[in-house]
Amino acid sequence: MLRLSSASGRPLDEAVAHLLSVQVRHARGQEREARAHLDRALEIAHTIRSSYIQFMARLSEAQLYLDGGQEADGLQSLVAAMALGREHSYVNTHVWIPAVMARLCARALEAGIEVDYARDLVRKRGLVADDLSVTTEAWPWPIKIFTLGRFELLRAGQPIHFSRKVQRKPLALLKGLIAFGGRGVREALLTDALWPDAEGDAARVALASALHRLRVLIGHDQAIVRQEGELSLDTRSCWVDVWAIERLLGHAEAGHTESLRKAVDLYRGGFLDGQEVELPQTTTFADTLRRRLLRQIARAARQCEAKDRQQAVDWYEQALRVDPCAEDIYRNLMTAYQALGRSAEVAESYQRCRAALAAHRGTRPSLETEGLLKVLLPR
């Protein structure tokens, strides 16, 4: 194709051949050769002043940089590509690869690059969310489900309002499904949890009825998949805040601090706080998520203590927003404030600890915390 397009004297055909070669070489791990083809495509775009070729080339350039871990360069190329796309209303290319474009749109949305244009691309081309975009709340998900600190459903970005006549079981089914993990949940687990007194066929009929009503309430049949005795939320249709946090925590555990910040921002309170859901799995799920998040925040704070104590303080304060009764975090915070020479904040942190424990647990600070206070603020 390269030979024929070069001989034809048609610049667009030659540029497309080079950009297809970029994809082939990149897929084979031949990055130097991929870059050489990309440079030739950019040269053609410049020579004939083609915004369309430059759009395609900058998208490929962003892909190469981002896949290679060159974040800043990749986002810079993505800014240039998306600006061209918006300006000229491009919704297709000669080298369109849906999975690649889905990842690039996800990164653009995550970074706040041409958000409206990126969302329009996703909608118009039916791009499917992948593992990266599952953390991206800005992706135009058909259904969004918030469970942390509140329970809220959004369809096409708008809250779904339920009338008073709505029975509890359909929503209880959705909450239970998420509490059990949301994917590949055995129907027997849900019937045992939600209809413990129903037997056999009666439990299955109750589940089928609740599932039908839930699909009607959500207004998106594909959002819940029923297959071979299992229920799942469709990951291509549904964004769930706890899933996003779990994925971000996975990145944070690999050392990505920015992912931890995003996870903390998404955490708005305990899982299904204030909801009438009588499932032991709810408590277990909430405790596991909270402990995992606290562990990563505490690790980030400890890493900051030697070189930036104020940053460590900020992390500890974030941890207390996640769990206001985390007594070990209060002790670390008191020590950090003392190292900064801020005795008033040491005392104030202790009083906050005392008030939180009394309000939420009906207890007092431990002897370890009391002893630390006396060491830090001797009378």
- For residue 228, give both structure tokens: 């071979």
What's the pLDDT tens digit per position in 137-192?
888 998 999 999 888 999 988 998 877 666 688 988 999 999 898 999 999 999 99
CATH of domain 241-376: 1.25.40.10
pLDDT of residue 306: 84
Tokens of 357: 């424990």
What is the CATH T-level fold of the domain 143-239, as seen in this structure? Arc Repressor Mutant, subunit A (1.10.10)
Query: Is the separation of the CB atoms in 142 and 237 below 8 Å?
Result: yes
Query: Which pairing describes strands 238-240 and 143-146: parallel, antiparallel, or unpaired?
Result: parallel
Torsions phi, psi for 226 (to 5 deg): -115, 120
- pLDDT (tens digit, 0 to 9) for every residue of the chain, 379 residues total? 999 998 988 999 999 999 999 999 999 999 999 999 999 999 999 999 999 999 999 999 999 999 999 999 999 999 999 999 999 999 999 999 999 999 999 999 989 999 999 999 999 999 987 655 566 788 899 899 999 988 899 998 899 887 766 668 898 899 999 989 899 999 999 999 889 888 878 999 999 999 999 998 898 888 999 999 999 999 888 999 999 999 899 889 888 888 899 999 999 988 887 666 556 666 777 888 899 999 999 999 999 988 899 999 999 999 999 999 999 999 999 999 999 999 999 999 999 999 999 999 999 999 999 999 999 998 7
Q: Where in the chain is the domain with CATH 1.10.10.10?
A: 143-239
Alpha carbons 262 and 271: distance in angstroms, whole number: 17
Q: For residues 162 and 174, what is the distance between their CA atoms, to the nearest angstrom?
A: 14
Q: What is the pLDDT of residue 136?
A: 75
What would the pLDDT profile of 208-228 be if each residue is shown by its tens digit?
A: 999 999 998 898 888 999 999
Cα–Cα dist 162/171, whole Å: 10
- Give the containing element (helix H, strand E) for 43: helix 31-48
User: 163 in the Ramachandran plot: left (φ > 0), alpha (ψ -120 to 50) or beta?
Assistant: beta
Architecture of 2-135 per CATH?
Alpha Horseshoe (1.25)
Cβ atoms of 179 and 279 closer than 8 Å: yes
Q: What is the pLDDT of residue 46?
A: 96
Q: With beta carbons less than 8 A apart as the criterion, state whether 108 and 186 touch.
A: no
What is the distance in angstroms between the CA of the first residue and the CA of the last residue of the chain?
84
Angle at 217 between CA 213 and CA 223, to 5 degrees: 90
Q: What is the 3-state secondary structure (H, E, C) of 109-176?
A: HHHCCCHHHHHHHHHHHCCCCCCCHHHCCCCCCCEEEECECCCEEEECCEECCCCCCCCHHHHHHHHH
* Contact call for residues 18 and 38 (beta carbons, < 8 A): yes
pLDDT for 332: 95
Beta bridge partners of 154: 144, 159
CA distance 34 to 18: 9
Spatial distance between the Cα atoms of 105 and 307, rounded to a whole number of angstroms: 36
